[in-house]
A and B are shown apart, each in its own frame.
Chain A
Amino acid sequence: MTDLTQTLARPRARLAGRLKLALCLFAVLAVVPPLAHAAGEPFLIVVATRMMVFAIAALSLDLILGYGAMVSFGHAAYLGLGAYAVAILSRAGIDDLVLQLLAAMAASALFAAVTGAISLRTRGVYFIMITLAFGQMAFFFFVSFSTLGGDDGVALPARSTVLGLPLLEGAQGMFYATLALLVAVFAGLYRLTLSRFGRVLTGTRESALRMQAIGFRPFPYQLTAYVIAGCLCSVAGVLLANQAIYVSPAYMSWHRSGEMIVMLVLGGVGSLTGAMAGALVTIALEEGLARFSDHWRLGFGLVLVAVALFSPGGLSGLLRRLGLVRDAT
């Protein structure tokens, strides 16, 4: 925990650098499908899609964890809410992606508003515990939801359509739809963190006392951020369900929430680009290491230990130290 708090206390700077890096990431991602086809390894497109789905989830968590210093250990609940929105709506015959996204976001906003209003009455370790508890409540709700497969989850009849068009059918369509949403989420959050609202959120992270002493009551801003983060994470959930054509409560288990925090710590919190890179690398390592050995988690653990010891700022901290990205103030 100490590493995390130290990382949170680090000054927030780096502007132009992180934006440039993010654009580079997007550019590289955009050419993955043709390269994968050329290399004769089309399954890489599927892997890259999963990477981007989790990048969206990690971005949303970075808003509350990195910018708001609210360490939520129940963020995977929104991944699950998004996924189950797809399952429930498609069972009701609604298989349009736009409608599913709206429903997922509405459900997540409601869940986040209620649980956030309660959780934000606590601080520190208690906040972590109470968000974990709400996350597990959501998890067990869907575990006992037997008409949707309960513990086993449920396979979807097909991927969603986009305004009536089967755009997501192929791996490539799924990939580019995910990339488009990833870019949109990043751009939105990037703007938000620089806005008046973002300043209040970041200021509260740095010193809640100072914010009160200039006339701000932090609660409504923190709760709003919490709701926005939940909504955006549910977008990842909708995509995850479509990518796997399958929905299960495992998406929202506390392991997933923990994994999202790991992504942030690995990439570096509070810069958005770091969260995105952390998610991409985490999923890549999972997939890559899993091919070498069933005990890949051991290798991943070693990577994390190395990051914690040698680069507390995560990947973005490492790049900064190597001088590849300069702090822009």
Chain B
Amino acid sequence: MTDPLLSVQNLSKSYGALRVTQDVSLDVHEGRIHAIIGPNGAGKTTLISQLSGQLRPDGGRVLYGGRDITRLDMAGRVRLGLARSFQLTTLLPGFSALENVALAVQAREGSSFRFLRPAAAEQALNDQAMACLADVGLSDRAHRLAGSLSHGEKRQLELAVALATQPRLLLLDEPLAGTGHEEAAHLVDLFARLKDRVTMVLIEHDMNAVFALADTVSVLVYGRIVASGSPSDVRADPQVRAAYLGEEAAPC
């Protein structure tokens, strides 16, 4: 088997006595969707935040493409192709949807120390941004302010912005939370299509989506990985059934 794209080794993080990440190790291979599931408060978002560079772990290492990025900040990781989407949408509310995405394109294309030429007139930025909006199905909302979009549309925009950074590995923190039925189906479809281009780590509560998309599933309970394997293995694991699926296995 080839080397993993992302390798997490013995990661740990505590807030006082509360150990939110305990000795977590996992490998994510290129071209796969690796889902992390677990009950509320299991430390999923904290884990993603450490992978994206927003939080610094207390111990352990994060290797990306064979390189130790444990101490690299978020902007540095994004430039290496490691992008994330946020569970609570973090958009620029006063920017239009198009501008939100165009800014992400601008971040990786050319210097931003340009002071005179209007950025809105840069066709290259707008074209690439429009393509990302089209990917997530938001083309007709391009000129609406991000702050005025519906909740589901914000989720889609959040994803378009992440895609605009041209990630090699995308960390998705509950991308379907709060989306309507149709939007969710659209996004699941999109992830399936993106799989060829982008490796994904997916945190999601929607079990139908997880089992439809994921190649590997890891189960996180109280900051510890209790099981990891193919979706069918994990589904059959008695420990997992007891800890997690038992209470939320009912189709939603």
Whether the Cβ atoms of B145 and A11 lie closer than 8 Å is yes
B:68-92 near A, CB below 8 Å: 73-75, 78-79, 83-84, 86, 90-92
CA separation between A34 and B115, bound complex, in Å?
37
Interface string of B200-219 (1 = CB under 8 A from A): 00000000000000000000
- What is the distance, in angstroms, from A279's C-beta to the closest C-beta of chain B? 23
Max chain B CB contacts within 10 Å: which of A10, A13, A202, A214? A214
Whether the Cβ atoms of B112 and A221 lie closer than 8 Å is yes
CA separation between A269 and B120, bound complex, in Å?
22
CA separation between A202 and B103, bound complex, in Å?
11
Which of B73, B103, B110 makes the CB contact (< 8 A) with A214?
B103
Whether the Cβ atoms of A196 and B106 lie closer than 8 Å is yes
Whether the Cβ atoms of A194 and B52 lie closer than 8 Å is no
Residues of A near B178 (CB, < 8 A) are none
Whether the Cβ atoms of B106 and A199 lie closer than 8 Å is yes
Which of B93, B118, B122, B143 makes the CB contact (< 8 A) with A206?
B93
A:254-295 near B, CB below 8 Å: none
Whether the Cβ atoms of A213 and B52 lie closer than 8 Å is yes
Interface residues on B, range: 35 or more
Q: Is B149 in contact with chain A by the CB < 8 A criterion?
A: no
Whether the Cβ atoms of B90 and A210 lie closer than 8 Å is yes
| Interface secondary structure of A, over-half rule | helix
Q: Is B94 in contact with chain A by the CB < 8 A criterion?
A: yes
A:196-218 near B, CB below 8 Å: 196-200, 202-203, 206-207, 209-217
Whether the Cβ atoms of B90 and A194 lie closer than 8 Å is no
Q: Is A12 in contact with chain B by the CB < 8 A criterion?
A: yes
Whether the Cβ atoms of B75 and A195 lie closer than 8 Å is no
Residues of A near B107 (CB, < 8 A) are 214-216
- What is the distance, in angstroms, from A92's C-beta to the closest C-beta of chain B? 32
Whether the Cβ atoms of A215 and B119 lie closer than 8 Å is no
- What is the distance, in angstroms, from B52's C-beta to the closest C-beta of chain A? 7
- What is the distance, in angstroms, from A211's C-beta to the closest C-beta of chain B? 8
CA separation between A84 and B252, bound complex, in Å?
71
Q: Is A297 in contact with chain B by the CB < 8 A criterion?
A: no
Q: Is B114 in contact with chain A by the CB < 8 A criterion?
A: yes
B:98-121 near A, CB below 8 Å: 99, 103-104, 106-108, 110-120
Whether the Cβ atoms of B119 and A198 lie closer than 8 Å is yes
Q: Is A37 in contact with chain B by the CB < 8 A criterion?
A: no
Q: Is A20 in contact with chain B by the CB < 8 A criterion?
A: no
Residue of A nearest to B78 (CB): A215
Residues of B near A196 (CB, < 8 A) are 106, 110-115, 117, 119, 122
Q: A194-B118, A194-B120, A195-B117 given as contacts; is B91 within 8 A of A207 (CB)?
A: yes
Which of A10, A215, A216 makes the CB contact (< 8 A) with B94?
A10
- What is the distance, in angstroms, from B79's C-beta to the closest C-beta of chain A? 5
Max chain A CB contacts within 10 Å: which of B99, B118, B143? B118
Q: Is B164 in contact with chain A by the CB < 8 A criterion?
A: yes
Known contacts A207-B91, A209-B90, A221-B113; can you find 4 more A-B pairs with CB under 8 A? A196-B106, A212-B73, A213-B52, A214-B164
Binding site for A on B (CB under 8 A): 52, 54, 73-75, 78-79, 83-84, 86, 90-96, 99, 103-104, 106-108, 110-120, 122, 143, 145, 147, 161-162, 164-165
Binding site for B on A (CB under 8 A): 9-13, 191-192, 194-200, 202-203, 206-207, 209-217, 221, 224, 329
20 examples of A-B residue contacts, CB within 8 angstroms:
A10-B94, A11-B145, A12-B94, A13-B145, A191-B118, A195-B114, A196-B111, A196-B113, A196-B119, A196-B122, A200-B103, A202-B92, A210-B91, A212-B78, A214-B103, A215-B108, A216-B107, A221-B113, A224-B113, A329-B143
